[in-house]
A and B are shown apart, each in its own frame.
Chain A
Amino acid sequence: MSSEWPLWEVFIRGQHGLNHRHVGSLHAPDAEMAVNNARDVYTRRNEGVSIWVVRSSEITASAPSEKGPLFDPSNSKVYRHPTFFDIPDEVGHM
């Protein structure tokens, strides 16, 4: 069996003047296709938006906030990437 397409994190600038925000992730064979797929999956092709994609494996994350013995960073474990879905404003704090 062949290898899986890599995972990409998608960041979208929804309106001029705003920061790019993480909206989710997807699979694609390379960066160009990840941008195309992001347009189809996460924007339904709204025009005028700007999309960034970055390979999930290229992201360096800080250690979890709660440090100390109770929360050993479990690097031997599993977590491939942080996925953060955008929270619509009307939902408020989550």
Chain B
Amino acid sequence: MYAQMVKTDAARVRSLDEMEPHERAFQERVDAGQKIEPKEWMPEGYRKTLVRQISQHAHSEIVGQLPEGNWISRAPTLERKAILLAKVQDEAGHGLYLYCAAETLGISRDQMYEQLHSGKAKYSSIFNYPTLTWADIGAIGWLVDGAAIMNQVPLQRCSYGPYARAMVRICKEESFHQRQGFDALARMVKGTPAQKAMVQDALNRWWWPSLMMFGPSDDASVHSAQSMAWKIKQNSNDELRQKFVDQTVPQAKYLGLTVPDPDLKWNEEKGGHDFGEPDWEEFFNVIAGNGPCNAERLDARKKAWSDGAWFRDGLTAHAEKAADRRAAAKIAAE
């Protein structure tokens, strides 16, 4: 997911009886479906976990601008160019909303950037894969945004108010992202054989990384259990992955594409698809920095930040000068 394998600092999930009064009252409010707001008491672990999760989510939006941004200058029509630009711009906006939500927890945007640039903070593994053809842009909208939506829709009900509200805004704006991707692919598969081949190639490359977005099975993970108890995670990774496969396979069929999984088949009994296991070794490698584009992605972000320092400083300096001038003029007038 956009936030993968977020740690909670919990050794195990404790029951209400084991909690101190503060924490117990907090947990009861969460259990009752109440929202936790910035000024209210919260366990330090909850706060830290949220900072990790929200900042990872924000970083994913920002880094996620890059693979698609690659193709803005090469989009095949003026309309596709405008749609893609608007979408990548939305990602910047979503990053901004999420950074602001994290800032309510006592960390600054600059600190979060620092963690990203130093490699301390992670972002979603998916954005370390390259966009090689125009069909990849459609595939990202269809698969990657499709997978993200699976996760983001339930996050609108997350226990932390600012995060939940950011997700509401994001989900509302994002509704067109998946559709535009699918629409671009639908157009291409009806086109020339070369275009259709391009779409199949994109599905072949993006299918497994998309399934990996949900992260490895977390049924046995204490972090996952703790996050669920805090209602900052609503579904298990396997649950969401299953839902994604079940939703996507018929869409692939509609497009006349073959999902690159020989083990994929409908299981009448469970009312869902059986499917193969992603290559988790690849996943852990990508997370560890060995993905095809990790270095490029991080370098691009670091470069944007360091190249822009003079700009940010220049505007700060001007704002200070202007404030001083206003103050001086006021004194002179008195």
What distance in Å separates the Cβ of B95 from its nearest Cβ neighbour in chain A?
A: 11
Q: How large is the interface on A (under 10, 10 to 19, 20 to 34, 35 or more residues)?
A: 35 or more
- Asked whether any CB of chain B lies closer than 8 Å to the CB of A39, the reply is no
Alpha-carbon distance between A26 and B166 when the two chains are bound, in angstroms: 13
Instruction: Count A/B pairs, Cβ under 8 Å.
Output: 108
Q: Name the interface residues of A11-26: CB closer than 8 Å to any CB of B.
A: 24-26
Interface size on B, residues (CB 8 A): 41
As a 0/1 sequence over residues 65 to 88 of chain A, the CB contacts with chain B under 8 angstroms (1 = contact) are: 010011111100111111111111
Assuming the contacts A5-B315, A70-B25, asked whether A94 and B37 have C-beta atoms less than 8 A apart, the reply is no
A41 touches B96 (CB 8 A): yes
Q: Which of B40, B93, B322 contacts A41 (CB 8 A)?
A: B93
User: Which residue of A is nearest B314, CB measured?
Assistant: A29
- Asked whether any CB of chain A lies closer than 8 Å to the CB of B280, the reply is no
Alpha-carbon distance between A61 and B107 when the two chains are bound, in angstroms: 19
Q: Name the interface residues of B101-141: CB closer than 8 Å to any CB of A.
A: 101, 103-110
Beyond known contacts A85-B165, A87-B165: 17 more, CB 8 A cutoff: A1-B309, A4-B109, A4-B110, A26-B100, A64-B40, A64-B41, A70-B25, A71-B25, A73-B39, A78-B47, A79-B39, A80-B103, A80-B108, A83-B38, A83-B103, A85-B101, A85-B162
Binding site for A on B (CB under 8 A): 21-22, 25, 35, 37-41, 47, 93, 96-97, 100-101, 103-110, 156, 161-162, 164-166, 168-169, 172, 309, 312-313, 315-316, 318-319, 322-323
